[in-house]
Amino acid sequence: MTEREFLKSEVLKGLYEELIHYDYILIKSTGEFVKKSKDGWFKYSLLFLIRDEGWEINPTISLRINLVEEIYHTVSGFEKKYQKGTPTLGTSVENYINDGQEYRFRLVNENQINKVVSGLTDLFKKVALPFYQRYSSIEALDKVLNENPSDSSLTGAIFKGAKGLILAKLTKRSDYPDLVKVYTSHYEQLADGFYLKDFEKLILKLDSSNIVN
């Protein structure tokens, strides 16, 4: 094991000892801490970015609502083996807080391990847990995505319209027809319309009686 691998392993081990109290399980190969919910999962992930010396660690937060993702994957084109891993909502802690500060951690030597673990645990408690609680329902997700259709910060531009429209259908939003137009325009402009055909397939699926009761 190299020094860099040792540092990563120790941070994951130390954070696991903290997060296990909240029923989060470590997937060591991906640096993810996951907790299953009745509707999907919550995930606290660490992106270990290689630097000239050691690591830069970027924590991210995401959650999944199975129903939304299952509908999405009827038209997504994702291989079956990847479909269970897609989040409904997700972003870095840094982008979520969005106050101009960097919420990342440099890890160069063994003496920094405890401080890094402490900082990551603090962000989990203060940012991740409230995030999961706030957006754990279909109604809350619908509101955050569809009240401001142009904001793709919690989904990314590729997924925003598809996930937003699914949620609008599930919650029976009165402005659903308007959102169809807004998101169609979004995909017409995104990547020269590359994703438009799949989105149009989704509209047809959502309008069929066997997709959303």
End-to-end, the C-alpha distance of the chain in Å comes to 53
Predicted pLDDT of residue 210:
61
Predicted pLDDT of residue 208:
84
The beta strands (E) that lie in the chain are given as 25-27, 32-36, 40-50, 55-65, 89-92, 105-107
How far apart, in whole angstroms, are the C-alpha atoms of residue 88 and residue 40?
A: 10
Among the listed residues 135, 99, 102, 105, the one whose alpha carbon sits nearest the alpha carbon of residue 118: 105
Which pair of structure tokens corresponds to residue 151?
Answer: 């904001």
Predicted pLDDT of residue 77:
87
Q: Which residues of the chain have pLDDT under 50?
A: none
8-state DSSP, 124: I
Distances (CA, A) of 142 to 20, 126, 166, 197: 30, 23, 9, 23
pTM: 0.93
Predicted pLDDT of residue 140:
97
Q: Could you state, in order of their start, the residue ranges of all structural domains in the chain?
A: 3-134, 138-207
Predicted pLDDT of residue 58:
98
Predicted pLDDT of residue 213:
53
